[in-house]
Amino acid sequence: MIDLPHYTDDPPVDLKAHRLLLDLDPVASAQAGRDLQSGTCSCSTMTATPPWDDSAVFEQFDAHMADVQVDAHEAVAEALEQARQQARQAVVTEWNARVPVGTPVRYWTGARQGEGKPSRTRTAAIVLSGHTPVVWVEGEGSFIALTHVQPTDTEGPQ
C-alpha cells in the first residue's frame, strides 16, 4: 500500500472504532518525574503500550492505525471485486434467460462499429476466466464478449 492519505482523511477507516485511550501510570510517572501514560485503542486489537511519554504512545497508535488503514482498503477492494463478480454473473444470467442457444445474432470481433457479422449462438453465456461475460457464436473459434454480440430480434442498446 502506497500513497494513502493520512488515516484521518481516509474514508474506509472507521475513526469512531479507533480512539486512543490513555491511562496515566502514577508509579511510573512519580519515578520519572513526568507524566507517563500507557496507550491502547478502543478497538481492543492494539497491545497496550508500557507507560511512555505521549509522543511515543502516539507513534505506536499511528502504527496501529496504519495497519487498520491497510486492512480497511483490503476489505473495500474485496467487497468491490465481489460486487463486480455478482454483476458479471447477473449479466450472464439475464442473457441466458433472454437468448437461448441458437438465437440469431450479429457480432463484432473488433470495435463495435458497422453492421457486425450475422451468426447464431452456439452455447449459453458464461463468465470467462471469472471476469468477462462471453458467448460462443457459430463461425468463430473463440468466445465473443457479450458486449459485442447483439441478438438480431432485440435491436438497440441492451
Q: How far is the CB of 59 from Zn ion (least distance, A)?
A: 15
The only residue of 13, 18, 39, 149 in contact with Zn ion, by rule CB under 5 A: 18
Stretch that binds Zn ion, among 37-45, 70-78, 111-119, 145-153 (CB under 5 A): 37-45
Q: How far is the CB of 79 from Zn ion (least distance, A)?
A: 20
Nearer Cβ to Zn ion (21/91): 21
Tell whether residue 57 is a contact of Zn ion (CB under 5 A).
no
In single-letter form, the type of residue at position 88 comes to R
The only residue of 20, 36, 41, 92 in contact with Zn ion, by rule CB under 5 A: 41
Cell reading at 83:
460486487
Tell whether residue 72 is a contact of Zn ion (CB under 5 A).
no
Nearer Cβ to Zn ion (44/109): 44
* Interatomic CA distance for residues 99 and 101, integer angstroms: 7
Nearer Cβ to Zn ion (22/43): 43
